[in-house]
Structure 1
Amino acid sequence: MTVLSEVGDRTFCVAAILAMRHPRRSVLFGCLSSVILTTILSAVIGWVAPNLISRRLAHSITTLLFFGFGLWSLWEAYNEDDDDNEELEKVEKELDAAPKDNRGKEPKAKEGNKVDEDLKKQRKPFLTTFLSPVFIKAFSVTFFGEWGDKSQLATIGLAADENAIGVILGGILAQVLCTIAAVVGGKSLASKISERLVMMASGVLFLIFGVLSFLSTID
């Protein structure tokens, strides 16, 4: 479910575009840290939900979410423009409009004195990866892009109705695969993905999960 929700979506395009402009390692660690954190937080919210409301109500909400997301995805696929690169181009324009990071300051950095250069050489690569502006940008853009989307809400619903550990493991595995594919494949991969086909497959899968949830019994 998470793979079909994430492939070709906004955060997938963000990872692909950032990987084309910045060091892939920083982008990969930033995006992965963000999606893993959001998956865990979403599952925890879903796991806590049955303690706040009845399990029967949580099950009913989950079933409605699946049907709602299924119909929503099919509607989006039906109304999707023939230009499959629309989302990619939109994200690219938004990133271009964002404030410039250290990319535009490289010439000045090269003019730094020898002491600054020596300090940079003493830094450990592992630490510079996680403290770099690129890491922070990839993490923040992905985190806020993931918050409130279909995959996150579906994760909350699943964790409320199923085993939370299984939901976390499945969600993280899917997010890691999608993020690695976006970073390694880059913009060329994102541009070749048919959003309409992915939305249709996602909608059908959500409806199947909705039917299974409707037919399942509550322990």
Structure 2
Amino acid sequence: MEAFLVSTGIVALAEIGDKTQLLAFILAARFRKPVPIILGILVATLTNHFLAGMLGSWITILLGPETLRWVLGVSFIAMALWTLVPDEFEEKDANLARFGVFGTTLIAFFFAEMGDKTQVATVALAAQYRTVIEVVAGTTFGMMLSNVPAVLLGDRVAARMPARAVHGVAAAIFAVLGIATLLGAGERIGF
């Protein structure tokens, strides 16, 4: 349950103001059909984060416990710093209308998530907790917590959300996870 809750919290916070949340706003404004957009986000996120979770699981097989602890600790600290860097979104990322609302959302979100903070976090969390299903469920739920309101409420939510403060909280959580991992916190879960 810890893996699910931590994964949900980190991704929900990290997603505020992220390029995929900006993509959700743009798709909602362009198509005005929330159900296929939300379903496209869900399927894209499940697919992308499952692949990321499997990569994280595979990494635990390749690396010894001590090396893994250092890689994960440094990765979480790097994620903390990366979270503080604002994302930029290019309009061409949402320009796939020929695939319909669901298809456009699915393709745009899947590719926008490639190498994104939340995908990298999913890899690290799956390696940290060694439970792909709980981590992917948590990261997907976190994505939906951030993006469904973006689709349903659009600019009204964005204008009231203190993105800089939220990013600061997410960065602090990543930093705490990184420091705790470097100090050996992961040993209790099997490192």
Q: TM-score, normalised by structure 1?
A: 0.72
Could you say which residue in structure 1 is the equivalent of 2:151?
183
CA shift for structure 1 position 66: 0.9
Structure 2 spans left out of the alignment, 5+ residues: 1-9
Could you say which residue in structure 2 is the equivalent of 1:2?
11
Partner of residue 208 from structure 1, selected from 176, 180, 191: 176
Matched, 1:44 2:51: no
Fraction of identical pairs, as percent: 27
Matched, 1:33 2:48: no
Deviations 1:133-190 (A, max 9, x none): 1111111111111110111112111111213232122112212212211111213222
Partner of residue 12 from structure 1, selected from 21, 29, 32: 21
1:8 is paired with a residue whose SS is coil
The structure whose Rg is larger is 1
Q: TM-score, normalised by structure 2?
A: 0.81
Does the CA-based 8 Å contact 1:59-1:160 persist in structure 2? Answer: no
Distance 1:217 1:53 in 2: 14
- Report the residue type matching 2:17 in the other structure: G
Matched, 1:57 2:67: yes
- Report the residue type matching 1:62 in the other structure: L
Using the TM superposition, name which of 60-69 and 187-196 deviates more.
187-196
Distance 1:207 1:145 in 2: 24
> Does the C-alpha gap of structure 1 residues 73 and 178 become closer, same or farther in structure 2, counting only changes over 3 Å?
closer
1:148 is paired with a residue whose SS is coil
Does the CA-based 8 Å contact 1:62-1:157 persist in structure 2? Answer: yes
Could you say which residue in structure 1 is the equivalent of 2:113?
146
Distance 1:71 1:33 in 2: 29
Partner of residue 76 from structure 2, selected from 49, 63, 66: 66
CA shift for structure 1 position 95: 5.7
Could you say which residue in structure 2 is the equivalent of 1:171?
139
Does the CA-based 8 Å contact 1:13-1:190 persist in structure 2? Answer: no
> Does the C-alpha gap of structure 1 residues 62 and 20 become closer, same or farther in structure 2, counting only changes over 3 Å?
same
Distance 1:95 1:153 in 2: 20
Distance 1:187 1:2 in 2: 21
Using the TM superposition, name which of 64-73 and 42-51 deviates more.
64-73
Does the CA-based 8 Å contact 1:66-1:209 persist in structure 2? Answer: yes
Does the CA-based 8 Å contact 1:182-1:190 persist in structure 2? Answer: yes
Structure 1 spans left out of the alignment, 5+ residues: 81-85, 103-131
